[in-house]
Amino acid sequence: MRPRFLIIGAGFSGSVLANRLVNLLDCRIDMWDERNHAGGNCHTSRDEKTGIMVHTYGPHIFNTDKKEIWDYVNSFGEFRPYVHRVKALSKGKIYPLPVNLFTINQFFGQSFTPAEAKSFLETKADNSITDPQNFEEQALHFIGNELYKAFFYGYTKKQWGCEPTELPASILKRIPVRFNYDDNYHANIYTGIPVDGYSAIMEGMTEHPDITITLNKKFTAQTDVSGYTHIFYTGPLDAYFQFEYGRLGYRTVTFEKHYADGDHQGLSQMNYCDEEVPYTRVAEHKHFTPWEKHDQTIYFKEFSKETGPDDEPYYPKRLDADKSMLQHYRKKAASLSGISFLGRLATYRYMDMHHVIGEAMAFSENFVEAFRAGQAPPVFSNIE
Ligand code: UDP
């Protein structure tokens, strides 16, 4: 009998997995998603009023250093070159982010060369911190108090709802500091935006006679799945266990939609770093597709808050209490058979699209290898 697989969640993890499995094994795949659309938080659709391609759950820019991931996503639709250049408003002035030579010179009213800026920032850095243990220490160690307060402290408090000392240093490591005028937000070899949106890419991955997607279908651990050879769960790990050990901390984002004529802010993303401004950033989506022409514009103010039971989980907080709760859930999951957990929500990690896609590709290979050898497949897509 052909194996029948059930994938819970039709985001990038589920879509890549379905695509790889159906190509590697002679199998049938059902995918369920509780939302009324596929694509997870990478879902895109054209705004009815303006025709602009909107990233429904906030800006997503594709970037990776891995050629195989870039080639893979490009095999499902055209990506056009797009370089993400972000500006930040701090105390009434606009600066480029990530922090680069232009930011440093503008902020301190200087005209430093790269070497001068480097030496200057070394005088600002807190050298008593040798091994930064949290977000704040990481910032103080590398850029000093003034730049930290101007660009990171207020934004991070709004974004994460806690003191930056409680957050891991890894969050800040996402953003580089440069002593040249390179203001590309992402330091990756390949970067682009899909011409027809991310949903079209995921549709390409799952377009196959042996893959069936069912929307508006909720899954719980009680759902009868007896006909399936194996289940792949990409939803929140704590929800799978009915929050038995408590709720893992997540931040969620709400969006305030606005329309205007012409150009609202002149670029795709403006960050609002002051604590007094209630939103974190404004995304103006037509700038993600500079090859399109639109007379009108649509933009969204982003507000961050704690995730309640009815909210979509976005950013895993991973505070110390979350990490120990996570270990309980992982231990319990590891004792199960016939199910695997993968993706941002099921592994409770802050992952970019290329991480999710790369991991789902690798996981599919591992799964198929184990399946063919008659061995127990991996329970998690990552080791932790
Ligand atoms: N961050 C900040 N100020 C900014 C931009 C980012 O303090 O203007 C911090 C903030 O804590 C954020 C983290 O850096 O959560 C990572 O930023 P990134 O732009 O990668 O966040 P994402 O696009 O994933 O929301």
Q: What is the mean pLDDT of each run of 10 residues along the chain (384 residues)?
A: 96 98 98 98 98 98 98 98 98 98 98 98 92 95 96 98 95 94 96 98 98 97 94 98 97 98 98 98 98 98 96 95 97 97 98 98 98 96 90
Name the token pair of 23: 């190509």
Nearest alpha-carbon partner for 41 in 345, 347, 317, 288? 345
pLDDT for residue 138: 95
Q: Reduced to 3 states, what is the DSSP secondary structure of residue 206?
A: helix
How far apart CA 153 and CA 144 sit, in angstroms, is: 12
- Residue pair 344/382 in contact (Cβ under 8 Å)? The answer is no
Closest ligand 1 atom, CA of 156? 11
Structural domains of the chain ordered from first start = 1-38+206-247+317-384 (3.40.50.720), 44-85+184-195+250-306 (no CATH), 100-172 (no CATH)
Check whether the bond before 98 is cis (ω within 30° of 0).
yes
Query: Is 281 part of the annotated catalytic residue set?
Result: yes
pLDDT for residue 188: 95
Name the token pair of 337: 């058979």
Q: Cα(353) to centroid of ligand 1, in Å?
A: 16
Closest ligand 1 atom, CA of 164? 11
pLDDT for residue 205: 98
**The residue to which tokens 């040249």 are assigned:** 180
Query: Is 384 part of the annotated catalytic residue set?
Result: no
How far apart CA 287 and CA 266 sit, in angstroms, is: 8
pLDDT for residue 304: 98
pLDDT for residue 90: 98
Provide the CA 369 distance to its chain's centre, in angstroms.
Answer: 28
pLDDT for residue 1: 85
How far apart CA 246 and CA 367 sit, in angstroms, is: 30
Query: Is 352 part of the annotated catalytic residue set?
Result: yes
The verdict on the CB of residue 304 being under 6 Å from ligand 1 is no
Instruction: Given the residues 28, 281, 318, 344, select the one marked as catalytic.
Output: 281
pLDDT for residue 100: 98
The verdict on the CB of residue 174 being under 6 Å from ligand 1 is yes
Query: Is 131 part of the annotated catalytic residue set?
Result: no
